[in-house]
Amino acid sequence: MYKSSCTSYCALLGALLALPPMLGAQSTDSTATAAAPDTTIKVTFGGFVDAYYAYDFNRPANFDRAYTTQPARHDEFNINLAFVDAKLDAPRIHGRLALQAGTSVQANYAGEPAVGSTSGPSLSRSIQEAFAGYKVASNLWIDGGIFFSHIGNESFISRDNWTYSRSLIADYTPYYESGVRAVWQATPTLTATAVVVNGWQNISETNSSKAVGLRLDYAPASTVTLTYDNFIGNEQPDSVASRLRVFNEVIAKVQLNSRLGLVASGDYGVQRRTGNQGSDTWHGAALITRFQATTIVALNGRLEYFGDPGQVLITVPAGASGFRSGGVSVGVDVTPNPRFLWRTELRGFGARDPVFPGRFATSALAKRDAFIVTSFGLTL
């Protein structure tokens, strides 16, 4: 099944690559455009700093907050994310190089595989993006390198999200990928992205298999965007039997009026068990709303649920029957200057089993957890 699925996606990518000569044969103008040299090359430099303080009411003993990448530390002033970047944009070429550090980086890249002596998180976590792309047709880009994931609605960069912390369904899907992608603007309202990548959020390879994925963004109106994305791949090392992972997600984003927006996401994944003993599934959903109260103050809220009874993505302490937790958050954003963002958020969780760590290593685990976080974000 994996081989046939991969073949289908690789065929799709090949079809996209075959479009340029087809398009060129239809129009001499497009051929002339493709052959013209880039005369306008724009290189820009930038950066971002997100400094934060978070207090977890369960007071984890080692200051690490469980089941999250952001905010990752308790009762500590620290840097969530800091990066510098350089971007190149031209009619036929583009690319971005961004180097990063911070506690969200440490948390997010902790699972980066170390197979061999020249792989692992020590280098990978410093690279946010590093890709180069070429426009092979008027509506088709091909990019290669390390780039943000084609999955999801929430960005790894906190300033770009409606809420400061990210939903559980965001933290347990890839934020980054390494491979090649084709981005095709099929119509003014439909964008298709196809990827062939090393795997489920890994730069260093874990096996000899590659994974594939697709994303479709449809905007029937300027205020509505509907998205479908997926992932198909084997995430097991070559030393054990393949266990196919298939993931699907749907997203609906609606701007109800000039002040109020709403985005709803739903995930469903399945992974084969060892020895053909059936499959494990996981699922999640998030509903996020944002209200622009004034020109500088915005309010946000979120309801969410994540269930992983088979522990495909989340490993829980002994005695718990998988991870099943709901959550709610409320936040306030203040933007006194376009480059400065002050964000405060209160968020709580309630799980079916005791899975949240407490103050002391010998303490009983808790079914509930809550934290408050405030951050200063500066765009350079």
pLDDT at 69 over 70: yes
pLDDT of residue 38: 66
Task: Count, in order, helices (H) and strands (E) of the chain.
Answer: 6, 16
* pLDDT at residue 362 tops 70: no
Average pLDDT over residues 177-193: 98
CA dist., res. 154 & res. 136, Å (int): 29
Lowest average pLDDT, out of 21-30, 62-71, 255-264, 354-363, goes to: 21-30
| Contacts of residue 203, Cβ cutoff 8 Å, sequence gap at least 6 | 112, 119, 124, 127, 146, 176, 178
**Angle formed at CA 189 by CA 88 and CA 287, multiple of 5 degrees:** 90
pLDDT at 35 over 80: no
Judge whether residue 4 has pLDDT over 50. Answer: no
**pLDDT over threshold 60, residue 29:** no
CA distance 177 to 179: 7
* pLDDT tens digits along 137-160: 999 999 999 999 999 999 999 999
Question: Which residue blocks in 27-74 are alpha helix, DSSP H?
Answer: 28-35
Take residue 255 and report the two structure tokens written for it: 């701007």
Average pLDDT, integer, range 28-56 = 78
The pLDDT assigned to 276 comes to 75
- Determine the pLDDT at residue 223: 97
State the pLDDT confidence band at 361, using cuts at 50, 70 and 90.
Answer: low
Cβ atoms of 325 and 306 within 8 Å: the answer is: yes
Using CA atoms, how far apart are residues 46 and 132, in angstroms rounded to an integer? Answer: 18
Q: What is the pLDDT of residue 118?
A: 80
Model pLDDT, residue 360: 63
Name the token pair of 22: 């087809």
Q: How much is the average pLDDT of 334-339?
A: 98
Our measurement of the distance from residue 216's CA atom to the centroid of its chain's CA atoms, rounded to an integer in Å, reads 16
List C-alpha distances in Å: 300 to 48, 195, 334: 22, 32, 12
| pLDDT per residue as tens digits for the range 277-327 | 899 999 999 999 999 999 999 999 999 999 999 999 999 998 899 999 999
3 phi and psi, to 5 degrees?
Answer: -65, -40
**What single letter denotes the amino acid at residue 280?**
D
Which segment of 185-194, 250-259, 317-326 scores lowest on mean pLDDT? 317-326
Task: At 276, list the tokens.
Answer: 């053909």
pTM above 0.85, yes or no: yes
In the beta sheet, which residues pair with residue 96?
87, 131
Distance CA 357, CA 365 (A): 5
Q: What is the mean pLDDT of residues 267-276?
A: 92
CATH C-level class of 2-27+41-379: mainly beta
| pLDDT for 15 beyond 90 | no
Whether 187 and 217 have beta carbons less than 8 Å apart is answered as no
Average pLDDT over residues 361-368: 78
Q: Give the helix ranges, DSSP H, for 167-207.
A: 168-171
Q: Tell me, what's the pLDDT at 363? A: 64
pLDDT of residue 121: 86
